[in-house]
Structure 1
Amino acid sequence: MENQKPSLMLVDGMALLFRAFYATAVTGQFMINSKGIPTNGIHGFIKHLFTAVSSFKPSHVAVCWDMGSKTFRTELFSSYKGNRGEAPVELIPQFDLVKEVVESFDIPNIGMVGFEADDCIGTIARQLSGHAKVSILTGDQDILQLLDDNISVILLKKGYGNYLVHTPETFFEEKGITPRQMIDLKALMGDPSDNYPGVKGIGEKTALKLLKEYNHVEGIISNLDGLSKSIKAKIEQDLEMLHLSRRLAEIKCDVPVNIALEEAGLKIVKEKALNKLTELELRGVQRLLPIDEAIVS
């Protein structure tokens, strides 16, 4: 039998942590432990992580994090993500603690100041997709631009254990464009959740139509005279914003982070992991850990 390619799951840590936090915060279940520390986000993060590990059975796992809100994108456009409020006070202590928990599982934490988690994910996915089948676990559609023959995306749906898995084929079926064209799609229509406008008055329908015809932003710009008067006027009026939005939308795949595949091998040391969970008084998640009971004496 030929050697099976290793499989690496890259996890968008913030996506899991925020999703877990807000799912319980609405009912006020912050799971405050005896030290007065809320652990609801961490608890749900662990549950999301290992539910996905048991569903997709990766041989290797790494978690990528945002490292503060200032990045090269906020330097390009100061209102980038400027619509996001401050993190809730109950979530703040969980940012550092969740990384300690990941460390106790001997899973690498990866992040780089000045870049978003997505940029680290993109960089590592590209670096290692020749050596492993890469899947990316996130709740964020933006990452779909990274899809290729060796990179798939697992989108978290509501609840635990519900996923939508995308490959370049399923993406094309859904949108009628290639994953790379998603960058141009966002450049044209903007992204309200990241707070940049794209071209005023161009929505998804028009943007998709233009991309199917002219391939990318440059193709559209070099064919302005072939467009309807109103679309031409809109693009000309927002040309600078269109170029800027494209730079904001593109995930950088050349961030100065690297990781050797063997560093991410999934090998949890039972005692080390359980000590950390006990210290934080995280109950009911031990059984989710992929620890081979037969080997551990």
Structure 2
Amino acid sequence: MNEKKILIVDGMALLFRAYFAQSYSARRLDDGTPTNAIYGFFQYLFDAVINFQPTHVVCCWDMGSKTFRTDLYSNYKANRPDAPDDLVPQFTLVKDIVAALQIPNIGLEGYEADDCIGTVSHKLSDLGHVYILTGDQDMLQLVTERVHVVIMKKGRSNYAVYDLDFLKTDKGIHPFQVVEMKGLTGDTSDNYPGVRGIGEKTALKLLTEYDSIDGILNNLDILPKSVKIKIESDLEMLHLSRTLARINIEVPIECSLEECLWNVSIEDATIVFDKYRLTSLLKIIS
């Protein structure tokens, strides 16, 4: 069976990971523009292409810090520092090189890359098997029989590939419960609190027994008194946290299978990569 395999790349996740992995590198263009994160980005991308052998590739990006989530909760991600100065000029340049390889760059103001990834994976999973390349465990809510989430681990070509069975084995939950967990526990990385005093262990126990937040709320009266009090004291934030955690799979973007076809011409790529002094990377895919 010649089924299509679609690799959806979490662009920002790869670029930031690459920046910190390559922070020692002094790679720059003649005009002084740094390219260390770009170099690492394409190492990770090409490694994934070799490992997963996709027939199609698309890359999704954040398009600024203001999104519908910051409208809902002004402190959302407010704890995050600004991007390092020498990473900022690489944001645009990496997209230019991605586009030069005929890989679509997808992003929309007001939404996060997560939402674009969720939308594209939902649309294209009927047409092929989707692999989402990321370091963000929030993406685990997108796992289906047709969508696998590839979590990058320390080092190159080191992945945890989550399908439905491995998610249940490794995390003890189903995909929809990723959102329920975040509603209960919050997310320190994204700076929303969930229910104060409810940690992962308690949340997992509650979801194992009652399946969802709605199931927990329907059984409040039989919960341990301390847990009941915590939940009742933070009901509004519980619901808000669950909303913030849920990836939007209905972003108004378009991405056809045809435009995602992985068909890189090494000859054309050499011209682009030589321009940016990245030619050595092409040996990974040639």
Tell me which interval the TM-score lies in, with the shorter structure as reference length: over 0.9
Q: How far apart in 1 are the matches of 2:122 and 2:268?
A: 32
Partner of 1:248: 244
Q: How far apart in 2 are the matches of 1:182 and 1:270?
A: 40
Residue pairs, 1:162-177, within 5 angstroms: 162-177=158-173
Contact 2:115–2:249 (CA under 8 A) maintained in structure 1: yes
Partner of 1:278: 274
Contact 2:194–2:238 (CA under 8 A) maintained in structure 1: yes
Which of 58, 74, 79 aligns to 1:83? It is 79
What is the CA deviation profile of residues 179-219 of structure 1, one whole-angstrom value per residue up to 9, with x for unaligned ones?
A: 11110001100000000000000000000011111111111
Q: How far apart in 1 are the matches of 2:60 and 2:48?
A: 16
Partner of 2:3: 5
Distance apart, 1:269 and its partner CA: 2.6
Partner of 2:197: 201
Distance apart, 1:33 and its partner CA: 2.0
What is the CA deviation profile of residues 46-79 of structure 1, one whole-angstrom value per residue up to 9, with x for unaligned ones?
A: 0000001001101000000000111101110011
Q: How far apart in 2 are the matches of 1:175 and 1:285?
A: 35
Q: TM-score, normalised by structure 1?
A: 0.94
- Structure 1: give runs of 5+ residues left out of the alignment: 291-297
What is the CA deviation profile of residues 3-45 of structure 1, one whole-angstrom value per residue up to 9, with x for unaligned ones?
A: 42101010001111000101121x3x24122110100010000
The percent of aligned pairs where both chains have the same amino acid is 52
Partner of 1:294: none
- Structure 2: give runs of 5+ residues left out of the alignment: none
Distance apart, 1:271 and its partner CA: 3.5
Residue pairs, 1:251-270, within 5 angstroms: 251-270=247-266
Partner of 1:23: 21
Q: How far apart in 2 are the matches of 1:58 and 1:126?
A: 17
- Calculate the aligned-residue CA RMSD, in Å: 1.0
* Cα pair distance change 1:55/1:47, threshold 3 Å: same
Which of 153, 156, 170 aligns to 1:157? It is 153
Amino acid in structure 1 at the alignment position of 2:64: G
Contact 1:101–1:273 (CA under 8 A) maintained in structure 2: no
Q: How far apart in 2 are the matches of 1:192 and 1:102?
A: 31
Q: TM-score, normalised by structure 2?
A: 0.98
What is the CA deviation profile of residues 127-179 of structure 1, one whole-angstrom value per residue up to 9, with x for unaligned ones?
A: 11111000100011110000010000111111111111110100001122211
Partner of 1:226: 222
Partner of 1:287: 283
Which has the higher mean CA deviation after the structures are superposed, 171-180 or 182-191? 171-180
Contact 2:266–2:282 (CA under 8 A) maintained in structure 1: no
Distance apart, 1:272 and its partner CA: 3.0
